[in-house]
Chain A
Amino acid sequence: MMQGQEVDIAEMIFHHTGDSHELEFEPFGTIHLPAWQPVHIGSLSIDLSPTKYVVFAILAALIVYTMLKVAAVGIERARRAGKAPGGYAGAMEAFVIWVREEVAIENIGHEMGPRYAPLIMSFFFFILICNLLGLLPWGGSPTGNLAVTAALALIAFVAIEVGGMLKLGFKGYMGTIFPHIDGLPPVGARIMSIGLAPIEVMSKLVKPFALTVRLFGNMTAGHFVILALFGIVFLFGHLGVFSYGIGIVTVLVVVGVMLLELLVAVLQAYVFALLTAVFIGLMQHEH
């Protein structure tokens, strides 16, 4: 595909950012993932065969586990020795504490914050590693796929709404759908309240939708930019000696965008964790 003079850049971009049933390690080869029979639930047919992003999501989970496991072992050893953990373990401890204190507890509150903190921390580290995997050669960002970000946002949505229900009780939770209107006669307040319910439900659904699209958009856009810039190399590949100049400039620009992507990868993991914490906190303090 890439050896040809005429390259369909759009096809290349979508091919690289899309999911597939094979892991490409060109020029070393390709691993074909097993294809399973779709599972039928009623009229729905769900293909549970592992795809490229499934593999990378599992890889991200294993990396997160290993990172934190090594840190935990170091911290445990330092504690046995009666010392403060140093080096990698100390850095990871500070990192985890930062996510817990500044992202989770700061936004959810001191009462419920510690209970939600593990979820927020897991969101942060899992999304961070998923984002970074896309920057590796032959890698891919599971978070650059709508299904993955939608699934993560679904978990956030459940945490926000179920958490609110547990905290506020059924009556209090219904108050977040049918808001309490002050300054109107009872009948008018009831009518207004019912009238506002669709807007309240919409606002509940918009939050996970925004989480889904924000993460997906940021990850995908970065890859689009990088691949489009690489497309320049192929577009002008026939210009002889000039193509080298174009190639060098393009590579420099791509390196710059990659560095930006590194920042975006951390930033979007932070944003997803932060917004989830903020939404949980808003729900907890709803009256």
Chain B
Amino acid sequence: MDTLPAPFRLNPGLMIWTLVVFGILAVVLWKSLYPTILKATIDREARIKKDLDDAERLRAESAAALEEQRQLLASARGEATAIIAEARQAAERERSAAVEKTRQEQEDLLHRARREIEAERERAVADIRREAVDIAIAAAGKVVGARLDAAADRKIVEEYIGSIGTGARG
């Protein structure tokens, strides 16, 4: 070492001195001066970090709230759809019940009308037949009173009666 020019000699004593001097300086600055000088910066950093954390927390909260709203909306929409469908079904049921009832009533009305018409017809036929018989008897009486023995007249009455019989049957 001592053969080297002065600047290139490595003196271990000087190394130790440097370590001690720089070590003391670094520790003193670290403990006492940097915190004072950097207080504003470090406080600001802490504040920014806190703000960022707050913003992140608020974002998460609002996202959760939004999600909740969305679910609520979706469930409300589902509920509304179900209610509408149910109402529609109920209306349909009501309508078809009403239609059925009306049809039933019409049918009943028709039946009754038919029955009444039938009864009227039967009664009318019976009346006609009775009238016919009465007319026939009256006619017969007239014919019988005048010329009952004539074979030709007899034939006319028989034919007449016969025609009434077929008419009553027709």
Contact = CB atoms under 8 A, between A and B. Distances in A.
A61 B21 contact: yes
A54 interface: yes
A54 B16 CA distance: 10
A76 interface: yes
A14 interface: yes
Nearest to A44: B12
Interface residues of B, number: 35
Contacts of A72: 32-33, 36-37
Interface residues of A, number: 53
A76 B34 CA distance: 12
Interface stretch (B38-46, B121-129, B138-146): B38-46
A155 B19 contact: yes
Contacts of A19: 6, 9, 11, 14
Given A14-B6, A61-B25, A72-B36, A122 B13 contact: no
A103 interface: no
Given A17-B6, A65-B29, A147-B11, A75 B16 contact: no
Interface in A157-173: none
Interface string A95-120: 01100100000000000001001110
Interface in A212-271: 216, 220
A64 interface: yes
Contacts of B42: 114
A69 interface: yes
Contacts of A18: 5-7, 9
B17 A48 contact: yes
A92 interface: yes
Interface of A: 14-15, 17-19, 38, 44, 46-51, 53-54, 57-58, 61, 64-65, 68-69, 71-72, 75-76, 79, 92-93, 96-97, 100, 114, 117-119, 121-122, 125-126, 142, 144-148, 150-152, 154-155, 216, 220
17 contacts: A14-B5, A17-B6, A19-B11, A44-B12, A48-B17, A54-B21, A69-B33, A72-B33, A75-B36, A97-B38, A122-B30, A147-B12, A151-B14, A151-B15, A151-B16, A151-B22, A216-B7
Interface of B: 5-19, 21-26, 28-30, 32-34, 36-42, 45
